Structures are given as structure tokens and as C-alpha cells.
Homo-oligomer: A and B are copies of this chain.
Amino acid sequence: MFNIEEWLPFLLAKTYQHTLTLMRSALDEFKLTPPQFVTLAFLWRRDGINQQELGTLMNVDRTTISGLLERLERLELVQRGQDPRDRRSWVIFVTKKGKALKEKLLPKLDRVSKEISRTLTLKEQETLIKLLNKIRLA
């Protein structure tokens, strides 16, 4: 018998929604959304790439990246400049303001993942990450 509540896609959807709620309250004071934070987190590591490359790293559609960066630019956290070697693409840079957020945001977001998995033992947390990674990289 099919039980939707034990169906993997449903469980993933709901646990993900739950993390979104926690992230939103953590990010609220910064006027940032969860996907905007994730985008920043990728750019902190890999500055100066183009939208295509960023989308590939993040597993996000090109049109979605477009909008995300537009909003991050409006917040003055990133800046897009022309790539002299390929005039089709933008090169994305994190601004000083965007870099300054790093120290404040990381501890907050660390707490989010602890909060989500607070009912799991440390070993279970590791297992969960391992299994999700196995699916993701399949």
C-alpha cells in the first residue's frame, strides 16, 4: 500500500520546507532569503566566475541565477562586471559589504543545521549527510 507520508519525495519536501522556515528566521535581520544566502556562500569561495559557472556549482537554472543576482546586486552585496574575454558573460564579484556579512552569517547558519538535526545523534547526522550526498552525486 502506498503511504504518501513515508514516500521519499514527500519527506524530502517537508524536511526541506522545515529548514527553509528556520533559515528565514535566522536571515530575517539581514533582509536575505535562503537562496540568496546560498548564492553568497558559493561566491565567498569562488569569486569572479560567470553566471553559467555559478549555476553549475549550485545546481540552479540559468534563469533563476539571473534573478538571484539581480536581487543581490540591488542589495549591493554583489556586482556584475563585463568579461573582456567574452562579452556574452558577466563576471560576478562579491562587494566589500557582501564579504563583511560572512562573519555574521556563518555562525547563524551553523546553528540552523544544528537545530534541524537536534533530534539526531551525531552519528545519525553524519549518516544523513552521507546518504543525501550519495543521492546528489549519483
Min CB gap A88→B, angstroms = 26
The number of chain A residues touching the other chain, given as a range, is 35 or more
Q: Which of B45, B110, B127, B138 is in CB contact (< 8 Å) with A119?
A: B138
Is A66 an interface position by the 8 A CB rule?
A: no
A 1-33 contacts with B by CB, 8 A: 2, 4, 6-20, 22-23
Chain A stretch 49-108: residues in CB contact (< 8 A) with chain B? 59, 106
* Residues of chain B contacted by A23 (CB below 8 angstroms): 9
CA distance A68 to B124 in the complex (A): 35
Question: In the complex, what residues of B have CB within 8 A of residue A59's CB?
Answer: 14, 17
Beta-carbon contact of A128 and B129 below 8 Å: no
Q: Is there an interface contact between A9 and B4, defined as CB atoms closer than 8 Å?
A: no
- Bound form: Cα–Cα A132–B17 in Å: 12
Most B CB within 10 A of own CB, among A9, A38, A41, A116? A9
Given A4-B41, A12-B19, output 5 extra A-B contacts at Cβ < 8 Å.
A2-B41, A8-B132, A9-B19, A9-B22, A118-B138
